Amino acid sequence: MASLAKNILQWLSPTTLILICLISGAMWSGNAALGDEPVLLPKEVMKHFAEEISGTTAKRNLDQITLYHRTRASRQYGKAVDHVVGQLKAYGFDSAQVMEFPADGKTMFGTQKSRMAWDVDFAELWILNENGTKERRLASWDAVPLSVAQDSLSGNVTAELVDVGAGLVESDYEGGDVNGKLVLTSSQPGAIADMAVGKYNAAGIISYAPNQKSAWWKEDDRLVRWGHLSSFPAEKTKTFGFMISLGEARKLQERLNAGQTISLDAQIEAYHRPGTYQLISATIEGADPVLRAQEIAFTCHLDHPRPGANDNASGCVAILESARAMKKMIDNGIVPAPKRTIRFIWPAEIEGSIIFLNARPDIAGRIKANIHMDMVGGNQETKAVFRIAGSPASIPSFVPALGHYFGGFVNHHTLAFASGDATEFPLVAPDGGKEPQIALMEPFSMGSDHQIFSEGTWGIPGIYLHDWPDRYIHTNFDTAAMIDPTKLKRAAYIGSTTAWYLANMDADNVPATLAVLRQDTLRQAAVIAAGPDGVTDEENQINLRMFLAAEAGKIDSLGQFTASQLPQLEDAKEFVAGLGRLLGKQSEQKRLVEGVAAAVYARNSDIQGPMSGFGYSYLEDKLNPDKQSLLKLRGEQAYEALNFVDGYRSIQEIHDWMTFVYGSLPLSDVVDYFSALESINVVKRLN
C-alpha cells in the first residue's frame, strides 16, 4: 500500500494535488463525502443512540439545576450535586459517588490553590429618597443572585454614589472624593478593588460591567453581568460589589450628570468559610479484561451562577443524558457493554478539574480521551454558533477527527431533514426546534475544562463541544427558556457516538479511522498549499515541516488504542510524507541552532497543571509583578508554549511549532517566557 500511495502521489502535479485537497475540504465541510451511511459505527448502533437519547429528558434535568446558584463549595452547589447524584442512582449507576476535596483557601493541588467556600445569606441595594427612606430596590440576592459580585463580603453601608467610569487609573478619581462612598464603574469589581477600595477607601463597588464582547455587546441594557472580586483579598481590599444592568447605570448617570446627589443603602451578609469541593463521578465499567483499565471521560462543569442554563447546565445535562441512554441500552441488551470504561465527571470549572487530576492520579493515568461539553443548548434567541473544537497542536491526535466526523454526520442529516428530504436521523426532540445543525469544525480553542485535561501535565486529547457567541452568557438572561431540547439531544448524540467508538476501538477499527483521518489531513494540506500572504520562504519551510510532524503524530496516536504498531500506520505515514514531497521541497541541510535558541527545558514534575487556574494564577502568585508585565506570551500562546516542553525540544523547535500554529512571533518572546518559568522552578534547563 505504501508503494502504491507513493506512486500515485508522484503522478500528481502540485497544482492537481492542491485541487484535490481543496475539493476534499469542500466536500468535508458540506458533508457530501459522508453519504447516507455511517462508516465508523454500524448503522443499527447509530440508530439505537438516535432513538434512545432524549433532549426532553435532558431539558427537564436542566430546569431543576438552573434553580440553584452553583458557586463552588456553596450550599446551593450542594443541592445541584444532590440532584445529579439522585438521577444517576435512579438510572442505575451504583458507581455514582461524590469525591470531596478541601476548599480551605490554602491547600495546593498542583498549580491550583483551593478557594474557600462562599455563601450569601442576604443582600439588597436600595436607592434612598431625600428623606433617607428606601425608594427603589436596585439589586436583590433572593431575586437575582447575579446582582451580588462573587466573593463579596459583608457590609452595611449608607452612602453617596460617585461615578468613576472605568476606575482603572488615577485620573478616574481626580476631582471626586470617594472616601466612604460607593463607586459606580463600568469595570469588573475585582479590577478596581485595589485602587478604589485599597487606595481611595471607597465603601463598596457598584458595577455595570457589560456582557462578554460580541456583536450584541452592550446592545441589551437589561442584562446583569456576573461580577467577581478576589477569592484571596488583602485585608485592605475586603469589600463587596453589586452588579446592576447597563440600563440602570444609565439612569443613575443621568441623575449624577444633572448634579443630583444619589444616596444608596447597601446591605450584605456574605462570607468565606472552609468548605468542600464536591466532584461527581460515575462509570460504565468496561467489559474487556485488559482494556477496561483504560477510560474515556465525559466532562462538563456544574458550577456557575443562577440560572446558568447554557453555561453550563446544558453541558451537565447533556452528559447526564448520555450516561442514562448508554446505561439503559446496555442493561436492556440493545448494545453490549463497551470494552473500555466510560467515566462521567461533574466538577467545578477548571479548578475542579485541576484538583481532580492532581488528587486522583490513579484515575488521571487511565483516561485516554476526553469528551467535554460546555454550553451546548443555546436556541436561536441566544444567537449561538455551535462548534466542535479539537486538541492542541502540542498533543497531535486522531480523536478530534472522530468528533468532527460524527458532528459532520449530524450536520448532514439534520440539514437534509430541515430541507424536506428523507433521512433516518432527523435528531429532533418533540418539544424542540427543527433547524439544521450547522456546527463548525475547529482546531483547539481554550475556555473550559478540556484545556486542563489536554494540558502538558496530562496530555489527554479530546473534543470540546460549545456555543460561541452566546449573547446571554454570564447574565441573568441565561435562562432555561433559552435552551433547545433538540440541540441538547444532538450534543449528547455526538458525544455519545464519539465516546462509544473510542471505548470499543481496537486494531480492527484502524482502517476506518485512517480513512477519516486522511480526509482531515488532505483538508489541512489544502491550507498549507494555499499559504497565507506575506509568509517568508523560511516560514513556509517551518509550516510544512510542522504540518508533516503534526500529521505523523496523529497517526502515531492510534497506537495508543491498539495492541501494537500496525503496518497500516506506517502506510499512512508514508502517504503524509508523500504529501510533503509534493507540497514543497524541504531543505536537507541540518539546521544550525545556537545560543539561547538551543536551550532544552524539562518540566518540574512536582508542579502539575497550567499556569493559570480559576480564581488563582500560579504564575501571578509566584512571579515578580515587574517580570510579569514584561512577558509577551499570554493566554493560549503561553499555555501551548509550556505544553511543548518535553525535555527534548529546543527553544527554537518550540518557537517553530508556535509559528506554525499562531503565525510569526519573535523568538525572544518564547525565550523570555521560559526564563520566567525557570525563575519560579516550573521548568529546568537541561543544557
The mean pLDDT value for 489-514 works out to: 96
The mean pLDDT value for 483-502 works out to: 98
Higher pLDDT, 536 or 518: 518
The mean pLDDT value for 6-18 works out to: 47
Helix/strand/coil for 138 = strand
Q: pLDDT for 127-173, tens place per residue?
A: 999 999 999 999 999 999 999 999 999 999 999 999 999 999 999 99
Q: pLDDT for 63-117, tens place per residue?
A: 999 999 999 999 999 999 999 999 999 999 999 999 999 999 999 999 999 999 9
Check residue 3 and give its pLDDT. Answer: 40
Strand order in the sheet with 241-243: 134-140, 117-128, 263-273, 155-163, 182-185, 204-207, 241-243
Q: In this structure, which amino acid lies at residue 431?
A: D
216 pLDDT higher than 50: yes
Distances (CA, A) of 243 to 147, 223, 285, 349, 620: 4, 10, 46, 22, 26
The mean pLDDT value for 487-499 works out to: 98
Phi, psi at residue 355, to the nearest 5°?
-60, -45
Mean pLDDT of the chain: 93
The yes or no reply on domain 117-273 and CATH 3.50.30.30 is: yes
pLDDT-above-70 percentage for the chain = 93
Domain ranges of the chain: 2-30+507-583, 34-114+275-504, 117-273, 595-685
CB 315 within 8 A of CB 376: yes
pLDDT-above-90 percentage for the chain = 85
Q: In this structure, which amino acid lies at residue 586?
A: Q
Q: pLDDT for 619-651, tens place per residue?
A: 999 999 999 999 999 999 999 999 999 999 999
Check residue 118 and give its pLDDT. Answer: 97
pLDDT bracket for residue 31 (50, 70, 90): very low
Higher pLDDT, 564 or 408: 408
Check residue 589 and give its pLDDT. Answer: 57
30 pLDDT higher than 70: no
586 pLDDT higher than 80: no
Q: pLDDT for 253-311, tens place per residue?
A: 999 999 999 999 999 999 999 999 999 999 999 999 999 999 999 999 999 999 999 99
The CATH code of the domain at 34-114+275-504 is 3.40.630.10
Check residue 532 and give its pLDDT. Answer: 67
Check residue 482 and give its pLDDT. Answer: 98
